[in-house]
C-alpha cells in the first residue's frame, strides 16, 4: 500500500501501557498510518513525547514524538480507532465513536460480553464478524465495535480451539500467573509484588468464563450462541514483567490422548485469509516438548509476541488433559491482537467508507 493510500487510524489512551504498544506497532504499519493520538485531559495539548512515561524498551517513535495529544472526542481524522482506555471511559466513549462512523477495535472490557459485539481472534473465530450486521442494524451505527478478548483467556482459547473442534470442550479448570504489565502503568506497587504473589485480580475470573464461552461459540442467524462449557479459575498476579502463563485442565465430550492433542495443536491452520494479514504470525501455536516449557521470559516473544506457546501436554486424573500456555499480554493479548482484528476487518472491506 502506498503511503497516501494508508488508512488513517487513531489511538485512544495512547499514553498508557497498551497505547504505547499501539503507537510502537503502528508507527511502521504497511496498511495503517497514525493520524491522531488521544488521552485524558491530563495529557491533551502536550507533545506525545512529553505526555507519556514510555514504559517499553526504546523511545517513542520519532515520527509521533511531536504529535500533540488530542482529547477524547469523536472528531478525530481517522477511519479506525484503537481503544486502550480504562473500562469506565471505554463504556462511554466507544459507542460514540461507533455511532459517528468509526471502526472501533477495543482492548477494553465493557463490550466484550455484549451479545452483538464480536470478541475476535481472527485465527479461531473469524466467522463471528457476521454479528456486526446485527449490531449496526439494531443500534443504527454506521461504524462498529469489535473487541479483543481478555489477555489471559486469549492464550487459553487459542490452545483449546483445535481441541474443541474435534473433541468438544465441556469443562475447564485454570490457574493463571499474570504479568504485572497486565495491570497497566504504574500498575501494582513494587512493594506489593516483588518477592510475592497476589492471589486476586478484581473481576478476572468472571471474565474468563464468559469470554471463553463466547470465543468458542458459533453464529446462528446473526446471533452469537456461546459454547456450552463450565469454567473454574484462579487468577494470580506474579512478579513477571510481560507474558501471562496459564495452567489448564480440560474435560471433553470425547477424551483425547496427549498425542492426539499435540498433533492437533501442531497442525492447526487458521483460515487462509488470516495468514495474509500483516500482523499474523507464521505459526499461531508453538508446541513445546521440553518438560519445563513454556516459560514467560523464554516464550512470550514467539513469532514477535503473536504466537501462543503450549506445552506440558499430559493426561489429567481429574479432567482429561492438562497443558500450560504462555501468551504475550501486551502484544497478542492487547495491541497486536487488536491491530490484527483491524487488518481482518480491512481485508473484509469494512474500512471502505
Ligand atoms: P494504563 O496504562 O492505565 O493507560 C490508560 C490510558 O487511558 C492512558 O493513556 C490514559 O491517559 C487514558 N485515560 C485514563 N483515564 C482517562 C479518561 N478519563 N479520559 C481519557 N483517557 C483516559 O492502562 P493499560 O494497561 O494501557 O490498559 C488500557 C486498557 O486496555 C484497559 O481497558 C485494560 O483493561 C485493557 N487491557 C490491558 C492489557 C494489558 O496487558 N495491560 C491487556 C488487555 C487489555 P493519561 O496518560 O492522559 O492519563
- Residue by residue, DSSP assigns 91-128 as HHHHHHHHHTT-EEEE-SSTTTT-TTS-B--HHHHGGG
- Same domain? For 200 and 266 the reply is yes
Distance CA 308, CA 285 (A): 5
Of all atoms in ligand 1, which is nearest to the CA of residue 90?
32
Per-residue pLDDT of 42-66, as tens digits, reads 999 999 999 999 998 899 999 999 9
Distance CA 327, CA 181 (A): 13
Predicted TM-score (pTM) of the model is 0.96
Query: Regarding beta strands 32-38 and 7-12, do their DSSP bridges make them parallel or antiparallel, or are they unpaired?
Result: parallel
Report whether residue 154 contacts ligand 1, using a CB cutoff of 6 Å: no
Of all atoms in ligand 1, which is nearest to the CA of residue 179?
40
Helices 204-215 and 151-167 pack at an angle, to 10 degrees, of 40
Report whether residue 43 contacts ligand 1, using a CB cutoff of 6 Å: yes
- Same domain? For 309 and 292 the reply is yes
- Same domain? For 15 and 73 the reply is yes
Domain residues for the domain of 133 are 3-149+335-352
Report whether residue 40 contacts ligand 1, using a CB cutoff of 6 Å: yes
Report whether residue 39 contacts ligand 1, using a CB cutoff of 6 Å: yes
- Same domain? For 170 and 96 the reply is no
Distance CA 208, CA 150 (A): 8
C-alpha cell at 342: 483491524
Per-residue pLDDT of 251-275, as tens digits, reads 999 999 999 999 999 999 999 999 9
* Catalytic residue list: 151, 244
Place of cell 503507537: 23
Task: Read off the CATH number of the domain in which 24 is found.
Answer: 3.40.50.720
The stretch 348-352 carries a mean pLDDT of 92
Of all atoms in ligand 1, which is nearest to the CA of residue 44?
47
Q: How far is the CA of 231 from the centre of ligand 1 (A)?
A: 28
8 A C-beta contact, residue 184 and residue 242: no
Per-residue pLDDT of 221-238, as tens digits, reads 999 999 999 999 999 999
Amino acid at each position: 500500500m502506498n503511503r497516501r493510500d494508508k488508512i488513517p487510524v487513531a489511538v485512544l489512551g495512547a499514553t498508557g501501557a497498551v497505547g504505547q504498544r499501539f503507537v510502537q506497532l503502528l508507527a511502521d504499519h504497511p496498511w495503517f498510518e497514525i493520524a491522531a493520538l488521544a488521552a485524558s485531559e491530563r495529557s491533551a495539548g502536550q507533545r506525545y513525547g512529553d505526555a507519556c512515561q514510555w514504559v517499553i524498551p526504546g523511545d517513542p517513535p520519532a515520527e509521533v514524538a511531536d504529535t500533540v495529544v488530542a482529547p477524547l472526542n469523536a472528531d478525530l481524522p481517522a477511519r479506525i480507532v484503537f481503544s486502550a482506555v480504562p473500562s469506565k471511559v471505554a463504556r462511554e466513549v466507544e459507542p460514540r465513536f461507533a455511532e459517528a462512523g468509526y471502526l472501533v477495535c477495543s482492548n477494553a472490557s465493557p463490550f466484550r460480553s455484549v451479545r452483538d459485539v464480536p470478541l475476535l481472534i481472527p485465527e479461531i473465530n473469524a466467522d463471528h464478524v457476521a454479528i456486526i450486521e446485527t449490531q449496526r442494524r439494531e443500534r443504527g451505527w454506521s461504524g462498529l465495535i469489535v473487541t479483543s478478548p481478555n489477555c489471559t483467556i486469549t492464550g487459553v482459547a487459542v490452545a483449546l480451539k483445535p481441541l474443541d473442534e474435534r473433541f468438544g470442550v465441556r469443562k475447564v479448570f485454570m490457574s493463571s500467573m499474570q504479568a504485572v504489565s497486565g495491570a497497566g502503568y504504574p500498575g501494582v506497587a513494587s512493594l506489593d509484588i516483588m518477592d510475592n504473589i497476589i492471589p486476586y485480580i478484581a473481576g478476572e475470573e468472571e471474565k474468563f468464563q464468559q469470554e471463553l464461552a463466547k470465543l468458542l461459540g458459533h453464529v446462528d442467524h446473526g446471533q452469537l450462541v456461546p459454547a456450552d462449557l463450565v469454567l473454574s479459575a484462579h487468577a494470580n498476579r506474579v512478579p513477571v514483567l510481560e507474558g501471562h502463563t496459564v495452567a489448564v485442565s480440560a474435560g471433553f465430550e470425547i477424551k483425547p490422548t496427549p498425542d492426539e492433542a499435540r498433533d492437533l495443536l501442531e497442525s492447526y491452520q487458521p483460515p487462509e485469509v488470516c495468514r495474509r494479514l500483516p500482523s499474523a504470525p507464521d505459526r499461531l501455536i508453538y508446541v513445546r516438548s521440553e518438560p519445563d516449557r513454556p516459560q514467560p521470559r523464554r516464550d512470550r516473544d514467539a513469532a514477535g509476541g503473536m504466537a501462543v506457546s503450549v506445552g506440558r501436554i499430559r493426561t489429567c486424573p481429574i479432567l482429561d488433559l492438562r497443558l500450560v500456555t504462555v501468551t504475550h499480554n501486551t502484544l497478542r493479548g492487547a495491541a497486536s491482537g487488536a491491530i490484527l482484528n483491524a487488518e481482518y476487518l480491512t481485508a473484509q472491506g469494512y474500512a471502505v467508507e
